[in-house]
């Protein structure tokens, strides 16, 4: 694996002041303009007087002190959001469409700035940061172009043909609480909320404390695109406090994070009888079938396992490879992994960046050390790399992982993948379905028809054929979410916007009332209706 050291030259975007002190610290990276940070932080509704320091995982240096919201601030955020939502819900779908399309253009225009901020806060490689503005722009455009299809009033058959008209409206729920994670700080802060405001709701957002700035830049872009000032409120604070306060006030909750926390969110929503969608953990499998193109599968496995240093909900952590290609695949997978360029920098050219925190590094290291102590073999990687960054860990491939090892069934959420040999496809599917999760899977095969048939047997909300994860995630018209302990509900597609609405049926009755009339008795009316039901069945009426 080749390493990239931070470049003390010109940074990529306008928000970066330059190297901190490369003369005295060769590993120094970049600082943010104080005025830029101050402008972003002004978007947090916070009057508590408390703050939380945020440091860059690139070099551990401070980025900002984020003000923390009090319970009164959260209440005020909801009050502002509700006032804004009442007006916003009356805007036309055409107006919302125009605003979404302006957002699409703004994100692409300010892409370099977005990328700089994402990399500074999360430590990911720039090419993986690029996935985020791309995904948000795709989301904005998709819902702009499909608003009428998803939200327009639809006609349904009435009980009496021609005499009963039924219209079904989609009514916004009100104020949606968005609790987003740190691993994709720009797209996860925005993509779910975009569908919510497109449906006529307001949003109160609580981004993760480690990556507030990327989320705040997103809020700025929303306002510049033309969304009303108070429609999108941002609060800050620990999930146990601020997240709970959001659940106590919202009309719907969208949460992305761990399964353990997701269960607590679901309990809080159940007590208030409000809906929620939860995208949670995964221990995602990839199947490499006997007829797979080995080179393509090895390339896909590198992206599947090591994108964003494995800190990706749909990341592959289990690889099942057919006997016939196992040795060739492992050879090519190891070679491609060892050829990766590692670096904690803002520049393009790195294949993998750093983990985000000491906690993530500790978990990753503990999983690898436990596996090795119990007999697993490290084919490549397996070491922390403090020479590259404080939380850097090499991309790691393990063989011989067994059920008593921690990483066998528990999500690592780091650059670690276990590889297994299988003898027949039924066995591979059964092993892929082991455990409690069911978020994402991948299958590599030259026979697309057979692979799609096999995909139906895999218990996962998304399955990618001859691709790691991007084919489903970037196809915004397709729903994305998990089965079993990987969550409930879906983002993207029709389900991704309809979840933020209530269906309202409006029936208009003409001429004939649904009760006896013209002097007929109740019995005569019952006989008439019974005959009508039999006739409608013969006519094929639903």
- β-bridge partners, 508: 165
Q: Is residue 463 within 8 Å of 455, Cβ to Cβ?
A: yes
Distance separating alpha carbons of residues 342 and 168, to the nearest angstrom: 54
Catalytic residue among 191, 276, 313, 407: 313
Active site residue 279: yes
Q: Which two tokens stand for residue 110?
A: 């300010």
- Cα separation of 456 and 177, whole Å? 33
- Is 317 marked active-site? no
Of residues 84, 384, 44, 85, the one with CA closest to residue 242? 44
**Can you tell me the distance from the alpha carbon of 77 to that of 211, in angstroms, rounded to the nearest whole number?**
20
Give Dmax (Cα) for the chain.
99
Cβ-contact 487, 262 below 8 angstroms? yes
Calculate the CA 67 to chain-centre distance. 25
Closest CA to 350 of 6, 38, 85: 6
**What is the torsional sign of CA 3, 187, 489, 166?**
negative
Give the active site residue among 279, 317, 411, 425: 279
- State how far the Cα of 75 lies from the Cα of 56, in Å rounded to an integer: 31
Cβ(84)–Cβ(76) under 8 Å?
no
Q: Spell out the residues 6+ positions from residue 183 whose beta carbon is closer than 8 angstroms to its own.
A: 122, 308, 311, 312, 313, 356, 413
- How many angstroms separate the CA atoms of 259 and 264, rounded? 9
* Residue-level length of the chain: 542
Work out the angle between the directed axes of helices 93-109 and 111-122 (0-180°, nearest 10).
70
Burial 54-72 (b: 16+ CB within 10 A, else e): bebbbbebebbebbbbbee
| Residues annotated catalytic, as ranges | 279, 313
């Amino acid at each position: 694996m080749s390493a990239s050291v931070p470049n003390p030259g010109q940074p990529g975007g306008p928000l970066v002041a330059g190297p901190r002190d490369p003369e005295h610290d060769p590993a120094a990276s970049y600082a943010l303009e104080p005025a830029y940070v101050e402008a972003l932080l002004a978007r947090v509704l916070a009057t508590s007087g408390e703050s939380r320091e945020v440091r860059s995982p690139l070099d551990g240096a401070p980025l900002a002190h984020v003000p923390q919201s009090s319970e009164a601030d959260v209440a005020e955020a909801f009050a502002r959001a509700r006032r804004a939502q009442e007006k916003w819900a009356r805007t036309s779908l055409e107006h919302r469409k125009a605003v979404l399309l302006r957002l699409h253009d703004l994100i692409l225009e300010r892409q370099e700035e977005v990328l700089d901020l994402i990399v500074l806060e999360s430590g990911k490689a720039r090419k993986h940061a690029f996935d985020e503005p791309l995904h948000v722009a795709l989301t904005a455009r998709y819902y702009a172009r499909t608003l009428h299809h998803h939200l327009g009033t639809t006609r349904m058959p009435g009980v009496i043909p021609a005499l009963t008209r039924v219209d079904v409206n989609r009514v916004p729920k009100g104020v949606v609480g968005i609790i987003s994670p740190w691993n994709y700080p720009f797209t996860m802060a925005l993509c779910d909320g975009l569908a919510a405001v497109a449906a006529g709701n307001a949003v109160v957002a609580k981004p993760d404390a480690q990556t507030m700035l990327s989320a705040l830049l997103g809020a700025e872009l929303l306002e510049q695109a033309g969304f009303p000032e108070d429609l999108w409120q941002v609060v800050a604070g620990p999930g146990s406090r601020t997240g709970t306060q959001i659940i106590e006030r919202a009309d719907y909750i969208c949460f992305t994070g761990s399964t353990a926390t997701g269960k607590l969110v679901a309990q809080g929503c159940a007590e208030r009888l409000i809906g929620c969608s939860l995208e949670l953990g995964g221990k995602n499998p990839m199947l490499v079938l006997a007829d797979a193109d080995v080179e393509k599968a090895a390339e896909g496995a590198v992206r599947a396992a090591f994108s964003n240093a494995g800190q990706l909900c749909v990341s592959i952590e289990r690889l099942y490879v057919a006997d016939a290609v196992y040795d060739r695949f492992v050879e090519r997978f190891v070679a491609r992994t060892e050829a990766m360029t590692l670096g904690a920098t803002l520049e393009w050219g790195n294949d993998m960046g750093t983990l985000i925190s000491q906690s993530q590094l500790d978990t990753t290291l503990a999983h690898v050390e436990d596996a090795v102590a119990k007999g697993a073999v490290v084919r490549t990687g397996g070491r922390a790399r403090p020479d590259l960054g404080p939380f850097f860990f090499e991309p790691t491939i393990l063989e011989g992982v067994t059920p008593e090892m921690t990483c066998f069934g528990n999500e690592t959420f780091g650059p670690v993948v276990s590889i297994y040999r299988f003898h027949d496809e039924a066995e591979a599917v059964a092993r892929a379905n082991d455990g409690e999760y069911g978020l994402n899977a991948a299958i590599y095969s030259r026979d697309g028809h057979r692979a799609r048939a096999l995909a139906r047997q895999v218990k996962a909300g998304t399955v990618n054929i001859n691709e790691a994860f991007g084919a489903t995630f970037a196809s915004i018209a397709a729903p994305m979410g998990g089965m079993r302990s990987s969550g409930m509900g879906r983002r993207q597609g029709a389900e991704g916007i309809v979840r933020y609405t209530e269906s309202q049926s409006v029936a208009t009755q003409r001429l004939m009332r649904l009760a006896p009339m013209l002097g007929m008795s109740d019995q005569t009316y019952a006989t008439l209706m019974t005959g009508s039901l039999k006739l409608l069945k013969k006519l094929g009426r639903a």
